[in-house]
Structure 1
């Protein structure tokens, strides 16, 4: 269980450096569990006004964490973090083109399919493809402890 010993501030909130595939999946798992728990807790226990006030900072963190993970995985494959905004713009542009070219009902289906395929491609790139071996222009991988025998390191 050494792979669970992570520097979570680096993993989830910093945009520089590199992470392995295993660190990416651990980060996604921690993020999903934390936000599912917090959103449930806030929605069940707090009045609506207080809930709304707490949801805004949580959304900021909810956006920051996956962006930090994606950028560091892009760095691991020796790519700039600016590929991610480019990917988001490409996805939005394709959706707009579909809505301009097709009837609304077909555009919605096409948009869903295009978005799903692009997100699947991104998931394969980040979660399953090996990064650059050794150091690259973004430095060495940030590893809390040396992991042996794990498929996603």
Structure 2
């Protein structure tokens, strides 16, 4: 019974302790991709953005007038990062299909007759198509980031 009372007292004392929260600024989000970078710092009820391209870095206070451009710049930098990763995966898959095809061709030339050739060609075609589409997406994301960065200057 005493142990239950002690545990109950300890739980109550932990719950009733005064809690203090520091109002120190902290980083909400930060990312770098393709030479572009941003970092969002929250201080009380306002956001301060640090945006940059290569070595040029600007500090911008978020307002209603620049909120949309800052969010779109952030989305563009994140898209660059995502599409570059997709491009690497697509290129690795394409190379994997080519290397596998060459190894199979060297070991068994009879396999490249009929439906096997169609399957391998379609796998390589899908990988090549995905690489092309993703490279176009990377280019578009770079253009978006460049555009929104120029708006913020």
User: Larger % of helix: which?
Assistant: 1
Question: What TM-score, normalized by structure 1, do the two folds share?
Answer: 0.33
Higher Cα radius of gyration: 2
Larger strand proportion, structure 1 or 2? Answer: 2
Relative contact order (alpha carbons < 8 A, sep ≥ 6): 1 or 2 greater? Answer: 1
